[in-house]
Amino acid sequence: MLDKSLLSYFPGSIYKVVTAAAALEEGLMLPQDTLNCPGYYEYGKQHRRFHCWKHSGHGAVTVTEAIASSCDVYFYKVGEKLGIDTLADYAGYFGFGSKTGIGINNESAGIVPTREWHNKRSKEGFQGGFTLSTSIGQGDTKVTPLQMAMAYAAIANGGTLYYPQIIDHIETADGTTIFNYPPRVRAILPFKPETLKVIK
């Protein structure tokens, strides 16, 4: 039987918190700033269309509205400006791209693509459109359900990324606790409190 919580998958829209955090922390967007979503984004000189899941568009949305409505166009636009390597840096802060440290069942580290990663592995090397796909959790990005759970827990608790634990304590047959396993901190998200508040 496979432990699917430790296998990596394409995350999709739940990954957008990475792009949101990067946009806010890098000063690219303020919480009250809006971007317009007409239902698609035309990228590059060839005007390739990257569609939003809502083909009629979301109109003008702030970052919190973009997260709530899962507006692809908002994240395409900020992702392009941030660049794939900056997105990778912020993914790393959340623990993506490395094992959580649970230490069982052949855990996957997932994939956080960078420009260098694509130059080594993609047939034609890095292409700008890869950044747009990455910004909404698609393309070559892969995370495990456990990584995602730990990242969202860090957002919810105010910025502390913990190691996952299976055992809380050990007790004797009569219920006496003989050993406790206290929570272990893996990292503190290096974000402003306002960033976490806006995303939460």
Catalytic residues: 13
Question: Which tokens go with 200?
Answer: 């939460």
In DSSP terms, 51 is beta-bridged to 40
